[in-house]
Amino acid sequence: MKKIGVALLGLGTVGGGTYRILKQMKEDIMRTDGVEIEVLHVLERDIEKAKALGVDPAIVSTDINNVINNPDIKIVAEFFGGIEPARSFLIASLKAGKSIVTANKEMFAKCRDDLEVAAKEGNAGLYFEASCVGGVPIIRTLQAGMQGNRIQSIMGIVNGTTNYILTKMSDEGLEYADVLKEAQRLGYAEANPSADVDGFDSMYKLSILSSLCFHKRIPLDKIYREGISKISKIDIDAGKSFGYTLKLLAIGKKVNGKIEARVHPTFIKNDNPIASVKGSFNAVLLNGDNVGDIMLYGRGAGDLPTGSAIVSDIVYAAVQSEHKLSYVAPTTDEDFNTDFESEYYVRMSVKDIAGVLAKITTAFGKYGVSINSVQQNASEGVASVTFMIHNTRESAINKAIAEIKSLESVNTVDALIRVL
Ligand code: NDP
Ligand code: HSE
């Protein structure tokens, strides 16, 4: 039986889940894939984490040379998080001819070019299934299941932490800060939770996923990003009254030959299947020109779901006779449309005086922004006004809102949320 030595970098949430699955599934993998996966070394600072998992302390260190210089280690799986030392350790591993498996979407999205150069130099493989959408096998679907299509769009919930927070706020009326703490305790959140709630994590994932959809590099600065930290329960409840659920969506699509890539909170109709995706679950809807719609759904975060994706990559890398890199062509500014179109929900606080709505609607009209419906609640001289806006361009609504904010009778514009 073929034996493949593996090194694990990090024994936190994902590393721990991976080790447990490798142990649990060892015999099954030998039977079904004809390969014995053996963990030969672990890099981890906290020896207690290793002991708690039953890892022999003799194979635990913090020295990457114990990995690079061991010829029996053929695959290096990384779950440190952050850029360094993950990047350097993985580049050194690739150059030494070891394939790498990573869950680190930030590092992969930012350092992919360097990793690919090193992979070519070492004739080694680059596997990153766990970097996007946790346990859902979306990378392999895009790489090996969609060749008969030109993908037109990808849209979905790709961050478990924010979906967990929005679900708890919406269904149980809980406060944002309390739910975030719970997501951290459950191991969903990034080391710095701003990566989740400010949309960075979704942006990294969208860059990776849309590059595989469109076979083009999607630089991070071409992705519009907005997180959920300003979302209030008032808007979640207002959305409900219009028949909408609020989700943090990642959207990549081709419009008139240009690519649009964006991450932002979005109201979606309650009957859209993505509206019913709750908690740490993720869902991604792909549209291929021949197959039509495909939806993938599953846990987007957590130790065992992510460990499942890592183990799948380790076994896949172990049985390949030749490693292949995904084709992604370079892009220029001309490949992207950043002034995208959407419908909008706008909530503002205004003085409850005659003529205020006329001034606001005049400002919308000046930039060609068309109003679909208006709701108003007034009390003690202040009115909260909510507008639903027909499809319009970002540039138009932003100009209109800037002008509305400058009106003397407008106190604040409190929310501007895109509507699907
Ligand atoms: P954790 O913080 O739980 O685990 C990271 C582990 O790596 C810690 O045990 C840490 O030790 C160790 N470590 C970090 N740097 C070093 C180093 N230089 N030498 C030795 N040990 C080191 O993070 P997660 O497991 O949650 O996440 C890891 C990666 O997986 C991230 O890139 C994340 O984005 C990604 N990911 C996470 C998912 C999740 O659900 N948690 C899902 C999908 C991807 P110490 O505690 O001492 O710093
Ligand atoms: N913090 C990430 C999330 C982990 O919540 O989705 C999975 O990538």
At a CB cut-off of 8 Å and minimum separation 6, what does 210 contact? 154, 218, 252, 259, 261
CATH, domain range 138-299 = 3.30.360.10
Q: What is the pLDDT of residue 14?
A: 98
159-177 per-position pLDDT tens digit:
999 999 999 999 999 888 8
From CA 343, how far away is CA 419, in angstroms rounded?
5
263-314 per-position pLDDT tens digit:
999 999 999 999 999 999 999 999 999 999 999 999 999 999 999 999 999 9
Q: For 326, phi and psi rounded to 5 degrees?
A: -70, 145
* Ligand 1 contact, 298 CB (< 6 A): no
Residue ranges of domains in the chain: 2-132, 138-299, 341-419
- Measured at the alpha carbon of residue 107, what is the angle toward residues 103 and 113, in degrees to the nearest 5? 115
38-93 per-position pLDDT tens digit:
999 999 999 999 999 999 999 999 999 999 999 999 999 999 999 999 999 999 99
* Ligand 2 contact, 190 CB (< 6 A): yes
Tell me the pLDDT band of 331, cut-offs 50, 70 and 90.
Answer: very high
Q: What is the pLDDT of residue 272?
A: 96
Q: What is the pLDDT of residue 175?
A: 82
**Closest ligand 2 atom, residue 196 Cα:** 1
Q: What is the pLDDT of residue 357?
A: 96
**Residue burial 277-291, b: 16+ Cβ < 10 Å; e: rest:** bebbbbbbbbbbeee
352-366 per-position pLDDT tens digit:
999 999 999 999 999
416 has a pLDDT exceeding 90: yes
What are the distances in angstroms from CA 282 to CA 5, 149, 159, 162, 296?
Answer: 32, 23, 7, 10, 8
Give the Å distance between the CA of 358 and the centre of ligand 1.
Answer: 54
Mean pLDDT for the chain overall: 97
Q: What is the pLDDT of residue 147?
A: 97
Tell me the pLDDT band of 178, cut-offs 50, 70 and 90.
Answer: confident
358-392 per-position pLDDT tens digit:
999 999 999 999 999 999 999 999 999 999 999 99
Give the Å distance between the CA of 103 and the centre of ligand 2.
Answer: 10
* Ligand 2 contact, 301 CB (< 6 A): yes
Give the Å distance between the CA of 106 and the centre of ligand 1.
Answer: 12
Residue range 341-419 in CATH 3.40.50.1820: no
Give, in words, the CATH class of 2-132: alpha beta
